[in-house]
Structure formats: structure tokens, C-alpha cells
Amino acid sequence: MKFRKIGVLTSGGDAPGMNASVRAVVRTALENGIEVLGIIGGYSGLINDKVIPLTARDVSNSIAKGGTLLLTDRCDEFKTPEGMAKAIETCKKHHIDAIVAIGGDGTFRGATDLTNHGIPTIGVTGTIDNDISATDYTVGFDTAMNTVIEMVDRLRDTGESHARCMVTEVMGRHCGEIALLTGIASGAVAVAIPEIDFDVEACIKKMIQLRAEGKRSFQIIVSEGVGGMKSDFGEELAEILEERTGIETRFNRLGHIVRGGIPTLRDRLAASRMGAKAVDLLLEGKSNLVVCEIDSDIVPVDINYSFALDKMYKKKLKDGDLDAFTEEQIKEMREFCARKTAYVKELYDLANALAK
Ligand code: ADP
């Protein structure tokens, strides 16, 4: 299929590396004789007709910039028929033949809606949480984790000076991977993630024993999703640990700090490969796909398959969610979920084993 013009947008939570994806989309498209319009502020830009032409020069130096130069908005209106009608009108007005949507799970739901309304759309990951099951990696994950370990290293300095325990809460929503991986990388004595029940008593026992053996400071990493997004698990844990171990404990919430910053090599590379792949897929006439990294390859996965896999992994499947899939696909999904669960458990056990 030959497109004349495509749109590119960033949507949902920002992530370092989004600009590198936009740059790759723009330059791959231009190389193929396709014009690119940047849609400002995600789906709200589509609704409110905020688009700008993008040249190769417009994306110069963006590879090294955090945040998103195309800006991002949360846009509930896009979920309504009226909002979608306005978005389609904008596409028609500017002759946008297809769209690359960079973001997370919510963004991909919007992408599916656009495809269903006649605008072929491809999703590219841009979320620090690494919470899209279909892909091993989401753009932004590495930069966010490197920021976490830098911050925890600072907390380690003061913790060691004062012989304190530092409980640090990190982002991740319902996915504990940021906490899990940074917990290992920052030598945490314990990691709490939504995927595995946290054993408070075992943690208390270990801290008391290690303190008796001479350990001065302790790092504990808590994922924000433990106990649900509205819970204050980390804060409460800090209080319990201080009370029960007698070790002075401080709670730290890194919050949005880890969302910003210069993207790492890992993120720039994944973003560049994924952005270019998205345009290649559109040129092949494909749509409704999310560009994934699986075993180091950049490959497309059907968006609906990706949603179903996510639900299966997160144990949120409802009646009928698997109706559209073959027995073989369902088997493949089950095997994938078993492997991912085992991977998370293996890392969790490693974190605990190395905590001495
Ligand atoms: P993320 O893409 O990071 O998961 P959000 O969940 O906020 O972030 O989604 C980003 C945007 O995608 C929303 O503001 C909305 O415009 C659109 N979106 C989210 N969920 C849906 C949905 N179920 N259907 C259509 N569009 C959606």
C-alpha cells in the first residue's frame, strides 16, 4: 500500500526515548517519500486539529531529549463517538492516511479504535513500566531504572552514614519490574512487587539478624502497585519495620523523578528500531499491530493478541476474551504466561538470595 502522508503522536504517560521513536518514524517515512505530520498532545491533538509538518531537521537532536517534544495529554473525549468523529475529521482534512501512536496500553486501545474507524494505526511502546506483556521491552524502562539506581545509591550514602533503613517506592503501576530489577541492581535487602506476596515477618527477621551481624544500612524497594495503586504500602512498611526492628527507617517516594531525563543507549536503540519498524509495517499494508522486542528481534504483534495476553498474565480474563483466538494461540499465550511468571519468580528469589 502506498501512503502519501502519515501522522505520529505520543500519548499517555511520557517516557524517555519517545522522541527517538518520533525521529525514527519521521526519517524512515521521508526516506520512503511519505510526508509526516506531528500530532500535538496525543489524541487530543487529533480531536482539536493540532498538527504540524515534520521534516528531518525538525527532529534534529531530539534523540538525546527526554520527555516528549510532541507533548502528551490524557484525553477521555477520544473514547467517545463524538471525539472519534472529530479525530477522523482531522485525519481527512489533512489527508492523514495512517498513524503511528507511541505510548502504553491505553494508547494502543485508542490505536485499535482508529484502525477500526478506517485509519490504519500501529503502536510503538513508550512507557517506563515495561507492562506490555507482548514485548520483552518498552521504551523508557532502562532510563527510568538507571535513574532509580542513581537515586538509591544516594540514599545508600546517607543510610550508611546514619545506620538507617531506606524504603524507596518506585513507579511501575501494576507491574513490579522496575522495582524488581532495580532492587537487584541496588543490592536491596528486600523487594516488594504486586506479582508476589510480600513476607513482612521474613523481612523483619532478616533485618534483625543482619543488623546483629553488623550490617549498618538497608535498602528496600517497593513498587507503587503493591496493595493497589491507592495503597500506602511502602509508607506503612517503613513504619512497621522501624517499630519491629528498632532500626531507624525513612520512606522515600521517587515519583515522577524517574520519568524524566536523557534516554539511555538501550532506550534510544529500541526506540529507533521500533519507530522505523512501524513505518515499514505500514508500508507493507499492515495495521493494528504493536511493535515489540522479542528475544532481541523487533517484531509486530497483533494489538488484540497483546491485550488478551496482558489480561491472561494479569489474571484479568473475562468470559469471551479468548473467543477470537485459535487453540494454538491460546496454548502459546498460556506457555508465555508460565514463562514470564517463572522469570519474575527467578529474579525475586535472586534478589532475596543476594540480600545478605
Ligand atoms: P498509556 O498509553 O500510557 O497507557 P493512558 O491509559 O492514559 O496512557 O492512555 C492514553 C490515551 O489513550 C488516553 O488519554 C485516551 O485518549 C486513549 N485511551 C485510553 N484508553 C482507551 C480506550 N479504552 N479506548 C480508546 N482510547 C483510549
Among the four given CATH numbers 3.40.50.450, 3.30.1490.20, 3.40.50.1460, 3.30.930.10, the one describing domain 5-140+263-303: 3.40.50.450
Contact in structure between 255 and 171 (CB atoms under 8 Å):
yes
Atom of ligand 1 nearest to the CA of 43: 16
pLDDT one digit per residue (tens) for the chain, 356 residues: 578 999 999 999 999 999 999 999 999 999 999 999 999 999 999 999 999 999 999 999 999 999 999 999 999 999 999 999 999 999 999 999 999 999 999 999 999 999 999 999 999 999 999 999 999 999 999 999 999 999 999 999 999 999 999 999 999 999 999 999 999 999 999 999 999 999 999 999 999 999 999 999 999 999 999 999 989 999 999 999 999 999 999 999 999 999 999 999 999 999 999 999 999 999 999 999 999 999 999 999 999 999 999 999 999 999 999 999 999 999 999 999 999 999 999 999 999 999 98
pLDDT for the residue 1: 59
Same topology, domains 5-140+263-303 and 142-259+342-354? Answer is yes
Nearest residue CA, atom 19 of ligand 1? Answer: 106
The H or E element containing residue 102 is strand 98-103
CA distance 199 to 213: 21
CA distance 1 to 60: 29
User: Which strand ranges, in their side-by-side order, compose the sheet holding 5-10?
Assistant: 51-53, 35-39, 5-10, 98-103, 121-125, 289-294, 297-302
In the chain, where the domains are located = 5-140+263-303, 142-259+342-354
Question: Cβ(103) to ligand 1 under 6 A?
Answer: yes
pLDDT for the residue 190: 98
Compute, in angstroms, the gap from residue 278 CA to the centroid of ligand 1.
Answer: 19
Nearest residue CA, atom 7 of ligand 1? Answer: 12
Question: Cβ(110) to ligand 1 under 6 A?
Answer: yes
Compute, in angstroms, the gap from residue 102 CA to the centroid of ligand 1.
Answer: 11
pLDDT for the residue 255: 97
Q: Which amino acid is located at 319 in the chain? A: D
Residue 124 backbone dihedrals phi, psi, to 5 degrees: -120, 135
pLDDT for the residue 2: 72
pLDDT for the residue 3: 84
CA distance 323 to 217: 52
β strands within 201-347, DSSP E: 218-223, 249-253, 289-294, 297-302
Residues 6+ positions from 296 with CB-CB distance below 8 Å? none
Q: Which amino acid is located at 297 in the chain? A: D
Q: State pTM to two decimals.
A: 0.97
Nearest residue CA, atom 23 of ligand 1? Answer: 109
Grid coordinates standing for 291? 511493535
Among residues 332, 328, 281, the alpha carbon closest in space to that of 306 is found at 332
CATH topology of domain 142-259+342-354: Rossmann fold (3.40.50)
Q: Which of 18, 107, 311 best tests ligand 1's pocket when mutated (most atoms within 8 Å of CB)? A: 107
pLDDT for the residue 133: 96
How buried is residue 144: exposed, middle or buried, by Cβ count under 10 Å (0-12/13-18/19+)?
Answer: buried
Catalytic residue check, 129: yes
Question: Cβ(300) to ligand 1 under 6 A?
Answer: no
The H or E element containing residue 277 is helix 265-283
Residue whose C-alpha cell is 540480600 = 355
Q: How far apart are the first and last CA of the chain?
A: 59
Residue 50 backbone dihedrals phi, psi, to 5 degrees: -110, 95
pLDDT for the residue 346: 98
- Among 73, 129, 142, 267, which one carries the catalytic annotation? 129
Question: Cβ(217) to ligand 1 under 6 A?
Answer: no
Compute, in angstroms, the gap from residue 149 CA to the centroid of ligand 1.
Answer: 29
pLDDT for the residue 163: 98
